[in-house]
Chains A and B, each alone.
Chain A
Amino acid sequence: MSNEYVTLVSSDNFKYVVDKEVASISTVLKNSQGFEEGKTGRINLDMDGDILECIVEYLYYHYKYKDQAESGDVPEFNIPTHLALELLVKADYLDI
C-alpha cells in the first residue's frame, strides 16, 4: 500500500497526488477505495483547491507526527485564519 497513490481533485480542478496510506487517515477517503474511486485512483471532492491543499498538508502532518502524539513533542500546525471555519466543516465531512 505504501507505494500507491490516489489523486485528490478539487472542485476548481487542482490535483493533489497523495500517498494512499496518508489519505486513509480520512475514513471517507479510505472507504471510497471499495468503490469506483478505487478503480480509477481519482477522488473528486467538492471543495476549493486552497482548502484541499490545507487538508493534504494536514494529512501529511498528521501522518508524520502520529507516533509522537503521546509525547506531545509536535510542532504547531498553522491554519490560515481565513480558512478556519470552512476547514472545520470539511474535516467533519471527511471524518478526519
Chain B
Amino acid sequence: MELLVASAIGVLTSAGIYLMLRLRTFPVILGISLLTYAVNVFLFASGRLTVGAPPVLRDDMTVYTDPLPQALVLTAIVISFGMTAVVVMIGLGAFLGSNDDHVDDQPEGSEGQP
C-alpha cells in the first residue's frame, strides 16, 4: 500500500511538473493543481498510513492515526483553492487584456494570436 501511495505521489508530481512547463496558462494551472494534490497527499502521508482508525476519539479505540498532518492539510486544501482562484484570475485577466494566454513574456512586436 505504501508503494501505491508513494507512486501515486510520484505520478501526480511528474504530471504536475510536465504540465507546469507548458506554454499556455490553462495547462499550467492544471499542472499546479496536480502539484497541489501531490503536495497535500505527501504531507498527509507524513502521518504514515493507517486504515480504519480516524482521529475521532472513541471509548473502544486505542489506536488513532496522526491527526496533525490532517489538520494542516485541511487548511492547505482550502487555501490552495484560494490560490488557484487567484492564479486563474491573473491568467484570465492577462488573456482578456492582451488576447494572449502565453505564460512567458513574448518577444517584442509579436502580437497575440487572434
Partners in one complex: no
